[in-house]
Amino acid sequence: MKQDMLVVLDLGSTRNTDVARAIRALGVYSEICNYDVTAQELLSMPNVRGIVANGGPNDTVDGVKITLSDEVKKSGLPLYTFDYAGDGALNPMPEDDADIQAALKSFVFDTCKAEPNWNMENFIADQVELIRRQVGGKKVLLALSGGVDSSVVAALLLKAIGSQLTCVHVNHGLLRKGEPEQVVQVFRDHLGANLVYVDAVDRFLDKLAGVADPEQKRKIIGAEFIRVFEEEARKLEGIEFLAQGTIYPDIVESGTKTAKMVKSHHNVGGLPEDLQFQLVEPLKMLFKDEVRACGCALGLPDSMVYRQPFPGPGLGVRCLGAITRDRLEAVRESDAILREEFAKEGLDKTVWQYFTIVPDFKSVGVRDNARCFDWPVILRAVNTVDAMTATVEPIAWPVLLRITDRILKEVKGVNRVCYDVSPKPTATIEWE
């Protein structure tokens, strides 16, 4: 293995990602583990040099206070703690990221003797080795949405196992305008992947009929996704592994043992209990900016690497309430207009994510000198580094007015356009 590693142990902290990224900023790879990881599990991880244990406000689970186990203390791995007194002195968690780096620098390099060998080339080399160890000569099925995460996983798996990989692209009717065609063209024609295209539009929309709760929608979409993959696997024969583009923000938002769920992701919280595949998730400890860097290092084109992030449930989380085909089409068409206008202004290269939402309520308006009762379209445009926090893009007023004019003229059933100026937190990036 190319990289040394430190483990960030979650003892109830809300700052685990800050600590993990601070260690990576020092040039050393890090992974976050739950408080109940065993010493045997820690020692089995490749090139583990030490542990940083983080206490915090979520240090009680099911009425029991979390503590470091004796076996972890006796594992022989150097230990540093934040906000956890334990048997020694309390090291308070610094507020500033630079101060976290400064506090850890001596521990990482002098105590743990870790080498600063965290980079994407080494990460890819290690993941290729780990994938080959896990999979061997068996076949892998990849849930390929065409988004950044699954695209990078596809490239990584093609590098690791080549023809053992089969990509399945499911058109569930919740994709953006022109997206299914683009996915087929890029992956089948340009990357030479084994690609299976599944038209499941009616299947998904029938399952979602009348379902308004966002969590229930996510779970239905996620479960149905996996059912489709199971069916395709049976057709292909010999599939034992399911690859997914899970990244660390997906895991955090779906809830951990010390933190409540924000929203489930189909690749984390929506899997059927009887799943028959073993999961392959090589990106699950990376953040979005790191995933993009990985894609660049793998040689993927910028148009793919810097493509708009897109949630697993697709437009299903942007058509609020119970999904109807007419409102879904309003989301799809308004989203296409927004993307066209952003491209004209060069905003597609500077804004991290932008999209439209259509809620399940109407308001009175005026069209052709008569009363109309139609939906609003909500615009969202945000910037972020790691998807854990986000700020709102200050779009120029003339651009907003032009987008508004086009949506009101071209999208059926819409009479208002609004712009969401809420940051994350307190909002999330998506609307649900």
| 179 and 249 together in one domain | yes
Q: Quick one: pLDDT at residue 187?
A: 80
The predicted pLDDT at position 388 comes to 84
Taking only the tens place, the pLDDT of each residue in 181-195 is: 888 887 888 778 899
Name residue 319's amino acid: C
Cα three-residue angle 132-137-138, rounded to 5 degrees: 100
DSSP code, position 163? G
For residue 244, how many other CB atoms are within 10 A of its CB? 30
Give the separation between CA 291 and CA 304, rounded to whole angstroms. 12
104 lies in a domain?
yes
pLDDT value for 259 = 57
Axis-axis angle for helices 397-410, 325-345 (nearest 10): 150
Cβ(214)–Cβ(263) below 8 Å? yes
Per-residue pLDDT, 262: 41
Helix, strand, coil percent values for the chain (each to nearest 5): 40, 20, 40
Whether the predicted pLDDT of 281 surpasses 90? yes
Residue predicted with more confidence, 200 or 58: 200
pTM, full prediction: 0.76
- Asked if the structure places residue 251 within a domain, the reply is yes
Question: Residue 324 to residues 12, 172, 205, 330: CA-CA distances in angstroms?
Answer: 41, 14, 8, 10
pLDDT of residue 42: 95
pLDDT digits (tens, 9 = 90+) for 197-246: 999 999 999 999 999 998 899 889 888 887 887 788 788 888 889 898 88
| Greater model confidence, 237 or 325 | 325
Number of compact structural domains in the chain: 3
Backbone φ/ψ region at 314: left (φ over 0), alpha (ψ -120 to 50), beta: left
| Structural domain of 236 | 120-305
Give yes or no for a contact between 1 and 16, defined as CB atoms under 8 angstroms apart: no
Residue 88 confidence (pLDDT) above 80: no
Domain containing residue 247: CATH number: 3.40.50.620
**398 pLDDT higher than 50:** yes
Q: Torsions phi, psi of 265, nearest 5?
A: -110, 140
We report the CATH number of the domain holding residue 385 as 3.30.300.10
- Residue 253 binned pLDDT confidence (cut-offs 50, 70, 90): low
Mean pLDDT is lowest, of 13-27, 244-258, 341-355, 415-429, for 244-258
Two structure tokens written together for 49? 């040099």
Cβ contact 249:288 at 8 Å = yes
Co-location of 290 and 159 in the same domain: yes
**How high is the pLDDT of residue 219?**
87
Report pLDDT for 256. 60
Q: How far apart (Å, rounded) are the C-alpha atoms in residues 212 and 320?
A: 7
Query: The dihedral of CA 407, 409, 412, 417: what is its sign?
Result: positive
